[in-house]
Amino acid sequence: MDKDIRILVLHRGWVVVGYYSATDSEVTLRQAAVVRRWGTTKGLGEIAAGGPTAATILDACGVVRVHPLAVVLSIQCEADKWTPALK
């Protein structure tokens, strides 16, 4: 699987993380999870760089597909820090 793991902030405030791919008409996250609780003191950048903390809560949700215009923010993650959490 590709090592492009991203945290996406979507329209209406949903925050999801997973293996990222995109076309002109669709953004897809595989092995995705909703980030219910960030569990950080320094925001999403903290878990993007260091992986989920002990206080981070992830709700697995399989495959997420959204229109590209639904993506408000995309943060590239350190894949090696996230691979164990995305099953």
53 C-beta neighbours (distance < 10 Å), count: 14
9 C-beta neighbours (distance < 10 Å), count: 17
Is residue 76 within 8 A of residue 54, CB to CB? The reply is no
Report all structural domains of the chain as residue ranges with CATH numbers, in order of start: 5-85 (2.30.30.100)
The string of pLDDT tens digits covering residues 8-36 is 999 999 999 999 999 999 999 999 999 99
Q: Phi/psi of residue 51, each to 5°?
A: 85, 175
Sheet holding 27-37, edge to edge: 57-66, 27-37, 15-22, 5-10, 71-76
The string of pLDDT tens digits covering residues 29-74 is 999 999 999 999 999 999 999 999 999 999 999 999 999 999 999 9
Residue 1's pLDDT band (cuts 50, 70, 90): low
